[in-house]
Structure 1
Amino acid sequence: MLDNMLDAAILKALPPGCEVVDVSQHGTASWSTGYKVAVEVDGEEKEYFLKVGYRARHADMALGEYESQKSLAKYLPDNAAVPLAFGTLESDPSKSFYITSYRDLKDKTADPTQLAEVLTKLHSSSVSPTGKFGFHVMTFNGHAPVVNDWCDTWEEWYSRQLRSDIRWEQSIRGPDADFDRVAEEFFQKVIPRLLRPLQTGGRNIKPVLVHGDIWHGNAQIDMETNQVILFDSCCCYAHNELELHMMREPRYRFTGEHIKKYRQMIPPSEPAEDFDDRNALYAMRDNIINAGLHQHRASLRQAVKKEMERLLAKHPDGIEGFQEPSINSGNPV
């Protein structure tokens, strides 16, 4: 028996009466270690994926992933890793765990139509339980916290979160007065200019559930069903276009072709002509988080600053410079 390889809290989360027959390491990150766990119960073998986290906020991270995947599975029962349990280790309270059913996934990039269909289903069917933007627990992008207190406007939620991401990154890489100067003007001018029109002038957007960290490593193909499976989520109810932000960056395998196919299924929010600038704005979050997560990507802080400066030059007057689109502008796809 291999039961002594697993903490008592993990054993309690597995099927009652099961016998552990194999435990093997299965993937790592700088904030967690993954394992494949095989058990036998009533003569049948079952497999699970176990993640053990050891960062400072490991318990909150386990809860956030559990609730995120639970929410995804509600709307995408065939396309989400379904969570089984989470908790803190009894033998070592400095670590927490998260368990889901094991799937044999292949590291194959979902084609644009495959991915767009899954995201369209998620964004079209999900409904915020409060009608607001946010989520019922804090989630984590890597180990960067996502502050999910409910907000009435998308501008409020996104502004708060980008500020939080910047503070988090600077807590790791150190302060940057010049970056802060540019960022403050950006928050005063560009964010209102790009996000406020989404919910003014008779326009509105519905908060929908987003995975929050869609890149090729978190959306792989099930070897048995050939379906796209989403995992490692940091969900919230957000503007649906937030989901596309990582597809802008060349370091990921999801590309502009994936964005194009998604836009054919769900047209850009109005004002549609702001779509690319909103996408650039949303991409800043992933870049600033990556600058904090990975030393070799610390230069992304300066890339974010350059994008802020570019958008400031394009929208120097902020919301005062916004002009209502022509009635015949349409929805370009």
Structure 2
Amino acid sequence: MTIELDPAVAAALPLDSEVISEKPHGKGSWSTGYKLDVKSEGLVCSYFLKIIQRPRHAELAKGEFESQKELHKYLPGNAAIPIGYGTLASDPSSSFFLTAFLNLSEEVAGPAQLAEVLKKLHGTSVSPNGKFGFHLQTFNGVVPVVNDWCDTWEEWFTRQLRSDIHWEHSIRGPDPEFDATADEFFEKVVPRLLRPLQTGGRGIKPVLVHGDFWPGNVQIDKSTQRIVLFDACCCYGHNELDLGMMRESRYQFTGEHVSKYLEAILPSEPVEDFDDRNALYAMRDNIINAGLHDHRAFLRENVKEEMRRLIAKHPSGMDGFIEIDNMSGSETEYRL
């Protein structure tokens, strides 16, 4: 029996395709997934269809498509292949994202295997204009990522963390105490940790980052045993951003994964700031989760306490930064 698809989805499939099976597949907080078995020219191929029924659904679908397209450019064997996206013809309140179907295992990728994939992504990707950002807005879950191009990483990250906090407050309500702490944090800590990356003769190159790098979006293809990245919200940014979620104990990527990555790609200079930068990057995921999930609303307090810890460590901001010459210039070092 032929299954009738929405015309917009059908148009993204090969000509003369016949859908012979459609089954619910996967778990998603922001969408509904299906596995499609499609017969075309005598061959049966499988696809994964995601239906998004959320505000800004069309932008969500396009952001994911463009992110996966960019990932696939640099990781052709390790990224879900985007096929198409668009708004449903039969239901303009919903959009779809279509990709090749993969039989994925929930097995956690090992540290060495993960480091190899990230080294390839971060080591070969190049920003099209040398700036930080992306050519369109993407979404971390349903949280907007402001991707207007920036000359400095400090500018991009400051803008985004402020945006994330504003979004969380729109869900959980105002918090004057948090805001007062955040004001001091943005004045002192963010410049102190990010400005030295691109001053004093140091520099970082914008590389493609996945943007939501946790085990739920990084799984193993059972047929090839390769790591596959999906559900990306990409930008060209600091490579260490993809390590932020490895800091949190609720995820199955651990300090061992971070250590193996740092064997492949050394921390950016100043090296002594790496752990604090990692804490800074982890804050984004925590404040986002505080807004996304009721059972994680407590993470707002965690972020506030982490801000206070780093303010106490860097009370003078950039005025307290002391240059330490630990740039050896060794040809064996691989530093972005």
Provide the TM-score with structure 2 as the length reference.
0.97
Deviation for aligned residue 1:327:
4.5
Q: What amino acid does structure 2 have at the position aligned with 1:122? A: L
| Cα-to-partner distance string for 1:215-265 (whole Å, 9 max, x where unaligned) | 111111111110000000000000000010000000000000000000000
Q: How many residues align?
A: 331
Q: How does 1:128-147 map to 2 (within 5 A)?
A: 128-147=127-146
Within 1, Cα distance between the matches of 2:32 and 2:292? 16
Asked if 1:77 is matched to 2:80, the reply is no
Unaligned stretches of 5+ in structure 2? none
Q: How does 1:196-215 map to 2 (within 5 A)?
A: 196-215=195-214
- Which residue pairs with 2:284 in the alignment? 285
- Which residue pairs with 2:126 in the alignment? 127
- Which residue pairs with 2:42 in the alignment? 43
Within 1, Cα distance between the matches of 2:107 and 2:142? 25
- Which residue pairs with 1:156 in the alignment? 155
Q: How does 1:1-333 map to 2 (within 5 A)?
A: 1-4=1-4, 6-327=5-326
SS at match of 1:224: coil
SS at match of 1:28: coil
- Name which of structure 1's ranges 152-161 and 320-329 shifts more when overlaid on structure 2: 320-329
Within 1, Cα distance between the matches of 2:251 and 2:173? 27
Q: What amino acid does structure 1 have at the position aligned with 2:17? A: C
| Cα-to-partner distance string for 1:53-96 (whole Å, 9 max, x where unaligned) | 11101100100000000000000000000100000001111100
Contact 2:247 2:279 in 1 (8 A): yes
Contact 2:33 2:50 in 1 (8 A): yes
Within 1, Cα distance between the matches of 2:303 and 2:28? 24
Q: What amino acid does structure 2 have at the position aligned with 1:58? A: H
Deviation for aligned residue 1:198:
0.2
Within 1, Cα distance between the matches of 2:85 and 2:67? 12
SS at match of 1:3: coil
Moved over 4 A (4+): 327-331
SS at match of 1:87: strand
**Using a 3 Å threshold, how does the CA distance of structure 1 residues 292 and 226 change in structure 2: closer, same or farther?**
same
Within 1, Cα distance between the matches of 2:87 and 2:144? 19
Within 2, Cα distance between the matches of 1:89 and 1:254? 36
Unaligned stretches of 5+ in structure 1? none
Contact 1:216 1:254 in 2 (8 A): yes
**Using a 3 Å threshold, how does the CA distance of structure 1 residues 250 and 27 change in structure 2: closer, same or farther?**
same
SS at match of 2:27: strand
**Using a 3 Å threshold, how does the CA distance of structure 1 residues 143 and 270 change in structure 2: closer, same or farther?**
same
Q: What amino acid does structure 2 have at the position aligned with 1:315? A: H
| Cα-to-partner distance string for 1:275-320 (whole Å, 9 max, x where unaligned) | 0000000000000000111000000000000000000000000011
Within 2, Cα distance between the matches of 1:41 and 1:91? 24
Contact 2:213 2:242 in 1 (8 A): yes
Contact 1:13 1:84 in 2 (8 A): yes
| Cα-to-partner distance string for 1:2-33 (whole Å, 9 max, x where unaligned) | 432x2111011111101000101112323211
Q: What amino acid does structure 1 have at the position aligned with 2:3? A: D
SS at match of 1:21: strand
Q: What amino acid does structure 1 have at the position aligned with 2:215? A: H
Within 2, Cα distance between the matches of 1:283 and 1:313? 18
Within 2, Cα distance between the matches of 1:169 and 1:328? 39
| Cα-to-partner distance string for 1:104-137 (whole Å, 9 max, x where unaligned) | 1111100000000000000000000010000001
Q: What amino acid does structure 2 have at the position aligned with 1:316? A: P
SS at match of 2:236: strand
Q: What amino acid does structure 1 have at the position aligned with 2:304? A: K
Contact 1:3 1:11 in 2 (8 A): no
Within 2, Cα distance between the matches of 1:199 and 1:230? 29
**Using a 3 Å threshold, how does the CA distance of structure 1 residues 154 and 30 change in structure 2: closer, same or farther?**
same
**Using a 3 Å threshold, how does the CA distance of structure 1 residues 116 and 94 change in structure 2: closer, same or farther?**
same
Within 1, Cα distance between the matches of 2:161 and 2:327? 34
Contact 2:3 2:21 in 1 (8 A): no
SS at match of 2:252: coil
Within 2, Cα distance between the matches of 1:29 and 1:225? 24
Within 2, Cα distance between the matches of 1:229 and 1:28? 17
Within 1, Cα distance between the matches of 2:320 and 2:105? 48
Within 2, Cα distance between the matches of 1:303 and 1:50? 36
Q: What amino acid does structure 1 have at the position aligned with 2:201? A: G
